[in-house]
Amino acid sequence: MKSVLLILACFFFQIINAQPDSLFIKHEEPKDDFVKPLWVQKNKASFDLSEVTFVNWNSGGSNSISGLVGIESLANYSDGFFNWRNKALVRYGINKQEKREIRKTDDLFEISSNLGYKPNKLSNWFYSARLNFRTQLANGYKYPDKETPISRFMAPGYLFFGGGMEYGKNIDKISFYFSPITLKATFVLDEDLANAGSFGVKPAVFDSEGNVIVEGERVRREMGILMTNSYEVPIAQNVGLKHQVSMYTDYINNFGNLDLDWRIDFDFKVNNFIRATLGSHLRYDDDVKTKEPSDIEGEFDEAGAKVQWKQFLGVGFAVDF
């Protein structure tokens, strides 16, 4: 799995870095030597809804309704030499089917801050420092079991902090970032999940009667290489594409084994308020192990890490404020 992911990653970045000029947003450098410092703040609230109802439908089916709420806030600064981009994002989605409990479909709380400096205004290269933090808001379950959470707020929580170089003709729309030194911290602040060794932390030590001798690790620290690529581009009238990919490998633990986070979203604009979204989100983290039922009833065996994939299609409205 490690070799396959590494080959795919290299091939994928070759494709990304060979983007045609038509993908780049045309950007004219200011003619004046002095560029007025500028803060730009944007806020966006969105709501997506999908629903299906059956009445005497001879093919069968279950009534269902799904909703996804999102709030995004951006605060960006630029003065010709410094570029500072900040983003906060909250997203939460639920689904309700007939004769079934409400289930969570999406849950994200994320904060990111990128500070870049370029030695002259004609350069497209930035010396860059980057911070990213993400977690979830509510408990997660392996449905239909709603008694035992498999994730909670800050279990896991992820923090990335490092420095490197970033390239972008229009850095708000197109960026390639490489950091040879990035700290990755994984937080598992729930006692039960930490003792179980969830999300790659060191599990607790138990005695023969199942009592905890040494508690599980709450924070796992890594130091490695981080590469990201992102761009936003219109691909047709009222149709936009947003691409984000992040790859991380730790120097000490299985160097070359990539943690991958890759998201592609298509945004279909109907008017200033109504739009549709089609998205794909793929993850692979070698530290997040899955479990399968063992031969002993009520017990589970570790089955290793697996590719995680989520697809979303929704129609709703978005408001900028």
Tens of pLDDT, residues 187-203: 999 999 999 999 999 99
Report residue 250: phi and psi, to 5°. -90, 140
Does the structure show a pLDDT above 70 at 71? yes
**What is the predicted pLDDT for the residue at 219?**
97
C-beta atoms surrounding 206 within 10 Å: 12
Q: Residue 218: left if φ>0, alpha if ψ -120 to 50, beta else—which one?
A: alpha
Residues 6+ apart with CB under 8 A from 144: 101
CA distances, 185 to each of 47, 193, 200, 252, 293 (Å)? 32, 16, 11, 14, 30
Reply yes or no on whether the pLDDT at 18 is more than 50: no
At 35 the pLDDT is 54
Residue 68 has pLDDT above 80, yes or no: yes
Long-range CB contact pairs, 139-142, < 8 A, 24+: 140/104, 140/107, 141/103, 141/104
CA–CA dist 110, 66 (Å, integer) = 22
Q: Cα–Cα distance between 157 and 171 in angstroms, integer?
A: 27
Strands 64-78 and 274-284 turn out to be unpaired
End-to-end Cα spacing for the chain: 45
Q: How many helices (H) and strands (E) does the chain have?
A: 2, 16
Convert the pLDDT of each residue in 259-295 to its tens digit.
999 999 999 998 888 999 999 999 999 888 776 655 5
Query: How does residue 172 score in pLDDT terms, banded at 50, 70 and 90?
Result: confident
| Percentage of residues of the chain with pLDDT beyond 70 | 84
Q: What is the pLDDT of residue 3?
A: 47
Residue 1: pLDDT band by 50, 70, 90 thresholds? very low
Residue with tokens 């890490």: 305
Quote the CA–CA distance of 69 and 108 in Å, as a whole number: 11
Question: 67 with 51: CB under 8 angstroms?
Answer: no
Q: Report how far residue 302's alpha carbon sits from residue 300's, in angstroms, rounded to the nearest whole number.
A: 7
In tens, the pLDDT along 75-133 reads: 999 988 999 999 999 999 999 998 889 999 999 999 999 999 998 888 899 999 999 99
pTM of the model as a whole: 0.83
pLDDT score for 296: 56
